[in-house]
């Protein structure tokens, strides 16, 4: 069995990783079609010994596709995902357009693959910080019962796409060459700086990115009462996100059991040997399938609390990899027609 | 009235800021003496139209000094501060050597200047992250009563001194020139990376830096039962520290009252206008007297909680400025002989 697969947003940073990962993971592709907005249609994309001409993402473009992975922003997803579904194409959507729709499963396959079984054509891929955070928090939830958590993020510029990565690199080069920094992709310079601001602000002072962590965690973990507060910060790192987490549980916690639970969880790994100065760092997590968890210790201000540090590739587990894993799980569970 | 002032560790990053700030703030200096370890003695230091030859910090070097600011590491402080006190020289110590000594006041002048009145010759200057954090937390404590807090830090490389700043700059230049990065001042590369590791590790997994935040906050705020958990992270920023804080209070909180309390507190300023994309950022806090506080909002996982973001100059409020402010307060309170 193999499938006609489409990537919508093929020219973006996540699109590029999707092409690479579909090949690296030997996704059962009959034919790969690269789609994008009219602006990018006609572009030629090369990968290994192949090349594709990007076609415009129109409703008719989905006629012959079995699976389409959307990573081209919420507006395009909102307009075209229903058209694709109407044409019997299953949509895995990397935008936030459908994540909180009660009829749309929001899936991290290692956590809630069973939610795929009731899909109605669209499956949502979670926010990058949320997916990476839950790779550390979910095994702890299974072990101790998650009650509430606080997250402070250290988010790479890849979260703003290829333009974000280009902006950090360009500002760094300009600094070295004593030229003024240009500011385009972010509202302020990011080189040698931090922006406590990711996505738009709501009236209560939170950003949409911060509320995604709260709302998407509740949905993925099926914990509608879960309490969480998140502070999202952009840092001058290229493509791995890091999270400092304080979490409270319903049962007594134990650091060694916490490490064992995370180590046994597919997709997560423990890097937690302070004596050898080993802990997860973003430089080691670009292009890595697993998320790294370390600095695990008893929280000093909570009765049943743990403090920990989680790192994962924003473009992979935070986007392209998780989307493809959703596709793999759909096939495995017989939830996509070929 | 003017004083014979000595700086021990004059050749370091904090030492340089001390020279600049003593002049900028018109500290009443009769004569300024620059001291350092034997290794740096003999060096010539220039500032504006003056120059000094650095003299070796020996016990006898304190004979004619009224005030000495130590910023040359804990070992030198432990050995020489008592010698200075024996010679009637008041010591303001920037190391961690005496901070938790019950006979030594640990002072942020805007918070607990009255602790200076019982000094016995040595006054300790707090850890950088702690001093900056409390510039935001203390006015909230006065308003709402601090019960416990969680801090995730984003610490600049200046915390590792001139060598730390040099290392980030050198690694960035090497990256632009496609040369391999040298790693000397930190255990791993810091350019484009994060190290969830500042100072040494204890057996329970916490670092000494993280426990300074807990223990020094208790002492400065006179809250021996205060609970706190801190995760300290080194980021590729040159000299301002940032802190993401979640804090629980005994009384109901209000965001507008929180802003007003911080705005009214000397040494802190509110930068909190999300609609105009205004929040404190490290790029704006190098060489700034005030600490900036923003992103103030109700914590979603605490009954009486606030989330906030605090930024301050590591070399100034986190070190040199606070030390000089201690000296100014000592003089104002008549607690130093000339």
pLDDT tens column, A278-291: 999 999 999 999 99
Give the model's confidence band at A338: pLDDT under 50 very low, under 70 low, under 90 confident, else very high: low
Average pLDDT estimate for B87-112: 98
Cβ–Cβ below 8 Å for B277 and A150: no
Which residues does chain B have within 8 Å of residue A164's beta carbon, measured at their own beta carbons? Answer: none
Distance from CA of B157 to the nearest CA of A (A): 10
* Nearest beta carbon to residue B300 from set A228, A279, A281: A228
Q: Convert the pLDDT of each residue in A95-141 to its tens digit.
A: 999 999 999 999 999 999 999 999 999 999 999 999 999 999 999 99
Average pLDDT estimate for B309-329: 98
Interface test with A, best of B295, B299, B305, B314 (most A CBs within 10 A): B295
Three-class DSSP category at A170 = helix
* Nearest beta carbon to residue B297 from set A206, A277, A307: A206
Cβ–Cβ below 8 Å for A154 and B237: no
Average pLDDT of the residues of chain A: 97
Which residues does chain A have within 8 Å of residue B302's beta carbon, measured at their own beta carbons? Answer: 229
Give the model's confidence band at B337: pLDDT under 50 very low, under 70 low, under 90 confident, else very high: confident
Among the options B141, B232, B241, B291, which is catalytic? B241
Cα separation, A173 vs B85, in Å, equals 50
Cβ–Cβ below 8 Å for B150 and A246: yes
Tell me the two tokens of residue B229: 């958990």
Amino acid B257: pLDDT = 98
pLDDT exceeding 70 applies to what percent of chain A? 100
Distance from CA of B137 to the nearest CA of A (A): 16
Residue B27's closest CA among B335, B334, B333, B332?
Answer: B332
Chain-centre distance for alpha carbon A137: 15
CA-based radius of gyration for chain B: 20
Distance from CA of B325 to the nearest CA of A (A): 27
Amino acid A294: pLDDT = 98
Cβ–Cβ below 8 Å for B307 and A193: no
Distance from CA of B237 to the nearest CA of A (A): 4
CB B190 within 8 A of CB B236: yes
Instruction: List the single residue in A with minimal CA-CA distance to B298.
Output: A204
Distance from CA of A259 to the nearest CA of B (A): 13
For chain B, where are the E strands, in sequence order?
Answer: 3-8, 29-36, 44-47, 50-53, 55-56, 67-70, 90-93, 122-124, 146-154, 227-231, 240-249, 268-270, 291-298, 305-313
Interface test with B, best of A178, A295, A298 (most B CBs within 10 A): A295
pLDDT of B338 above 70: no
Amino acid B286: pLDDT = 97
Per-residue DSSP letter, B114: G
pLDDT of B182 above 70: yes
Interface test with A, best of B147, B200, B204, B229 (most A CBs within 10 A): B229
Instruction: List the single residue in A with minimal CA-CA distance to B286.
Output: A193
Cα separation, B97 vs B100, in Å, equals 8
Cβ–Cβ below 8 Å for A300 and B149: no
Cβ–Cβ below 8 Å for A152 and B152: yes
Amino acid B44: pLDDT = 95
Helices (H), chain B: 13-24, 74-86, 109-112, 128-144, 161-176, 208-221, 255-263, 321-332
Instruction: List the single residue in A with minimal CA-CA distance to B275.
Output: A201
Tell me the two tokens of residue A321: 């990899």
pLDDT of A337 above 90: no
Three-class DSSP category at B30 = strand
Cβ–Cβ below 8 Å for A297 and B237: no
Helices (H), chain A: 13-24, 74-86, 109-112, 128-144, 161-176, 208-221, 255-263, 321-332
pLDDT of A94 above 80: yes
Residue B24's closest CA among B296, B316, B335, B318?
Answer: B316
Amino acid B284: pLDDT = 98
Residues of A annotated as catalytic are 128, 241
Cβ–Cβ below 8 Å for B281 and A206: no
Per-residue buried b or exposed e for A307-333, using 16+ beta carbons within 10 Å of the residue's own CB: bbbbbbbbbbbbbbbbbbbbbebbbee
Q: Give the β-pairing of A305-313 and A50-53.
A: unpaired
Which residues does chain B have within 8 Å of residue A149's beta carbon, measured at their own beta carbons? Answer: 301
Cβ–Cβ below 8 Å for B231 and A244: yes
For chain A, where are the E strands, in sequence order?
Answer: 3-8, 29-36, 44-47, 50-53, 55-56, 67-70, 90-93, 122-124, 146-154, 227-231, 240-249, 268-270, 291-298, 305-313
Which residues does chain B have within 8 Å of residue A313's beta carbon, measured at their own beta carbons? Answer: none
pLDDT of A248 above 90: yes
Residue A160's closest CA among A322, A46, A318?
Answer: A318
pTM of the model: 0.97
Give the model's confidence band at A326: pLDDT under 50 very low, under 70 low, under 90 confident, else very high: very high
Cβ–Cβ below 8 Å for B244 and A152: yes
Amino acid B306: pLDDT = 99
pLDDT exceeding 70 applies to what percent of chain B? 100
A&B contacts, CB < 8 Å: 170
Give the model's confidence band at A173: pLDDT under 50 very low, under 70 low, under 90 confident, else very high: very high
Q: Convert the pLDDT of each residue in A35-74 to its tens digit.
A: 999 999 999 999 989 999 999 999 999 999 999 999 999 9
């Amino acid at each position: 069995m193999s499938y006609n697969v489409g990537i919508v947003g093929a020219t973006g940073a996540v699109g590029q990783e999707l092409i690479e990962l579909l090949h690296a993971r030997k996704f059962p592709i009959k034919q790969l079609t690269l789609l994008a907005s009219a602006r990018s249609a006609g572009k030629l994309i090369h990968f290994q010994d192949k090349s594709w001409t990007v076609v415009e993402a129109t409703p008719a473009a989905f006629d012959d596709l079995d699976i389409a992975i959307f990573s081209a922003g919420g507006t395009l997803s909102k307009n075209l995902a229903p058209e694709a579904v109407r044409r019997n194409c299953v949509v895995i959507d990397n935008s936030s357009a459908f994540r909180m729709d009660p009829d749309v499963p929001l899936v991290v396959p290692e956590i809630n693959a069973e939610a795929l079984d009731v899909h109605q054509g669209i499956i949502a891929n979670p926010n990058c910080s949320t997916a990476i955070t839950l790779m550390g928090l979910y095994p702890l939830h299974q072990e101790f019962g998650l009650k509430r958590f606080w997250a402070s993020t250290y988010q790479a510029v890849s979260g703003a796409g290829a333009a974000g990565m280009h902006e950090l690199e360009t500002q760094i080069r300009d600094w070295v060459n004593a030229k003024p920094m240009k500011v385009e992709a972010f509202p302020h310079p990011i080189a040698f700086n931090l922006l406590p601001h990711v996505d738009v602000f709501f009236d209560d002072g939170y950003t949409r990115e911060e509320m995604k962590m709260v709302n998407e965690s509740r949905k993925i973990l099926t914990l509608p009462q879960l309490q969480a507060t998140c502070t999202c910060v952009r840092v001058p790192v290229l493509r791995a996100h890091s999270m400092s987490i304080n979490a409270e549980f319903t049962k007594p916690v134990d650091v060694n059991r916490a490490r064992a639970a995370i180590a046994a969880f597919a997709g997560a790994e423990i890097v937690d040997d302070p004596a050898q100065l080993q802990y997860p760092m973003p430089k080691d997590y670009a292009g890595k399938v697993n998320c790294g968890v370390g600095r695990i210790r008893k929280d000093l201000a909570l009765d049943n609390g743990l403090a920990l540090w989680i790192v994962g590739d924003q473009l992979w587990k935070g986007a392209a990899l998780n989307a493809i894993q959703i596709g793999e799980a759909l096939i495995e569970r017989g939830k996509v027609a070929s």
